Chain A
Amino acid sequence: MNFPARVSIFLIALVLGGGAARAASDFAPAILFDFGGKFDRSFNQAAAEGAERFKKDTGIAYREFEISNAAQREQALVQMARRGATIIVAIGFTQASAVEKVAKQYPKLKFTIIDAVVDLPNVQSVNFREQESSFLCGMAAAMASKTGKVGFVGGMDIPLIRKFALGYTEGAKYVNPQAEVFQNMTGTTPAAWGDPTKGAELAKSQFGRGADVIFHAAGATGLGVMQAAKDAGKLSIGCDSNQNYLHPGSVLTSAVKGVDVAVYSAFQAAKDGTWKPGQQVLGLAENAVGYSIDEHNRKLITPEMEQRLVQAKADIISGKIKVSEYKAQ
């Protein structure tokens, strides 16, 4: 038997095996991850944790797919739909056009998309006010910085990441109007989510210009940013998942985004029959975004810092502090 034949048999076995593992119930949730993969320790991983928790709580297995090239999005969605998924959660803004197309083909199926808006009667769009958590992280960065210079490393240059950058800059300037914020984007293609070498290089350049705290919103690329911060004895701020544990003592905090909660509640609502299409925008008020404090960064956040963060959080929720939202021209 030649190599390709073996591979395809292996793949078929995998797919069949996955089918057999399906729970006896009719409810079949599915999740489609984005570039960077399920274990990027960031955005996709948060989604995976939500799905895992759902499986643990309900005993219902879910079907999953990690794309490795753009052409697989639609295929994977159609596969999931054809094989009887009840709800499909698509992670990431890049899935929008594929979801739109497949949702039209399967009007009875439920789709939830995270980080994008798809306006169809069977699609639920969940978005976050990342600018709010970024604002708080900007404040934390400016308060922790000794040089008055802080950095931001984004992944792919898209409005979503600009949103992080803008909130972060405003937060830093809120604490220290003279604060200087360096901003770099890794690239303009999805490859920018998975290039830790480039991330480290960008971080080093910002440290070279005097920054001593860097916030990344760059998926797996951010791992390089955090490693560079650790190597240089500086601070980094994690993104999407709580990344404080990656380099204890070097990660100031993480801008957490409740992707796990969104995935969990989408599955749960679909199971209970309370799932509704339409748009949801979640922020600090819904406790869907925020910053993380745990045993790994406890020592880095002083009581005064924490007090100001708590105050600012309340002010953002009450509307006293207005965080601008990035609008693409």
Chain B
Amino acid sequence: METYTLIVLLLAATIRVATPLLLAALAGMFSERSGVIDLGLEGKMLGAAFASAAVSAISGSAWLGLGAGIATAVLLALVIGFACITHRGNQVVAGTAVTIMVVGLGPTLALAWFNLGGHTPQLDGPGQRFVGLVWPWAQPAREHPLPGLLYAELLSGHNLIVYLAAALVPLSAWVLYRTRFGLRLRAVGENPHAVETAGISVNALRYRALIISGVLCGIAGTYLSTAASSGFVRDMTAGKGYLALAALIFGKWRPWPTLGACLLFAFTDALAVRLQGVALPVVGVIPVQFILALPYVLTVLLLAGFVGRAVAPHAIGVPYAKEK
């Protein structure tokens, strides 16, 4: 029974940890499927985390915070777009530059506005954060462990963004594979010249993809600062943008496998948290250092050995120049 409870709690933690990764990975998917490498994921998320925490702190509304987070991330995405679509700059450089800029700009603005040393004020007023939604009958359901605990811990009790992220996976799959926009998006990442020949603007499509990427990153960043924690602190994305990119490659740029990759990364992370100081059968207590390295070791092993060939969109990273 004890073990069962632990496993359920572990899975619930996996869902919480996977949410920002998944949102960022889907953001990357739209952008990269259109042929634009998205190294700006980290920066867009961090920018959104800052903007949403700041706006929520001032206005007292998490929803306005979400709006500000999305607006900021879209703006940053458009900056990347302007550099590498309109001006055909190097996509890797543009994305990295935006990330570096936000890493410095966030704390600087926070310092100037709130005078709290690069943090935003703590969000603890009512409605300033996205808090867990407890589903009906979740409390009584705990009494009946087998289905009840699963219901109470795994399904109920998460915040709105978690459910939104879960719904976005089938939605993204539908958009990508079942709509005209999705077809064009995939085509523009494989062979932009063919798309141009069909009379569709390559640049407009890529801009649209980047805007979608911005919206999703905005939600991911908002999750970090106003749902998972209460306020913005320096470097709070802590490499999640890059991990999301790894998950995207691991998932071969497809929505469902990407979901699997995000869940796997989140699971190892949640597991690492819980394995600390716990005596395991046979091996005993594993040193903390080893446990903390586990998610990264697993990532390297999986990426190196088990994924098989991950084929990137054919035209990725190549700025498109119209043929004269």
Contacts and interface: CB of A to CB of B under 8 A. Distances in A.
Contacts of A183: 276-277
B117 A230 contact: no
Interface string A301-329: 00000000000000000000000000000
A202 interface: yes
Contacts of B276: 183-185
Interface in B222-272: 224, 228-231, 233-236, 238, 270
Interface string B27-68: 000000000000000000000000000000000000000000
A208 B9 contact: yes
A187 interface: yes
A275 to B, nearest CB: 28
A227 B229 contact: yes
B87 interface: no
Interface string A195-208: 11111111011001
Given A37-B117, A66-B117, A194 B235 contact: yes
Contact of A196 (B5, B118, B229): B229
Interface string B84-126: 0000000000000000000000010000000011110010100
A205 B270 CA distance: 9
A276 interface: no
Contact of A223 (B228, B230, B235, B270): B230
A258 interface: no
Given A183-B276, A184-B277, A196-B236, A227 B230 contact: yes
A35 to B, nearest CB: 9
B292 interface: yes
Given A66-B117, A185-B288, A247-B124, A37 B234 contact: yes
Interface string B4-18: 011001000100110
Given A182-B277, A194-B235, A197-B236, A39 B116 contact: yes
Interface string B268-294: 001001101100000000001100100
Interface in A172-222: 182-185, 187-188, 191, 194-202, 204-205, 208-209, 220
B132 interface: yes
Interface in A143-195: 157, 182-185, 187-188, 191, 194-195
Q: Interface extent on A, as a size class?
A: 35 or more
Contacts of A224: 229-230
A220 B9 CA distance: 25
B131 interface: yes
Contacts of A37: 117-119, 234
Contact of A194 (B13, B124, B230, B234): B234
Contacts of A204: 13, 16
A231 interface: yes
Main secondary structure of the interface of B (DSSP, over half): loop
A209 B16 CA distance: 17
Contacts of A196: 229-231, 233, 236
A38 interface: yes
Interface in A119-151: none
Given A184-B277, A204-B13, A209-B6, A230 B229 contact: no
Interface in A97-112: none
B126 to A, nearest CB: 13
Interface string A60-87: 0000001010000000000000000000
Contacts of B117: 37-40, 66
A289 to B, nearest CB: 24
A184 B275 CA distance: 9
B131 A197 contact: no
Most buried by A among B6, B231, B234: B234
A200 B6 CA distance: 17
Contact of B224 (A38, A197, A205, A230): A197
B233 A200 contact: no
Nearest to A247: B124
Most buried by A among B124, B233, B292: B233
Nearest to B114: A39
Contacts of A187: 292
A246 interface: yes
A200 B289 CA distance: 20
The 10 A-B pairs of least Cβ separation, nearest first, read: A39-B117, A208-B9, A196-B229, A37-B117, A38-B117, A39-B116, A197-B228, A227-B230, A184-B276, A197-B229
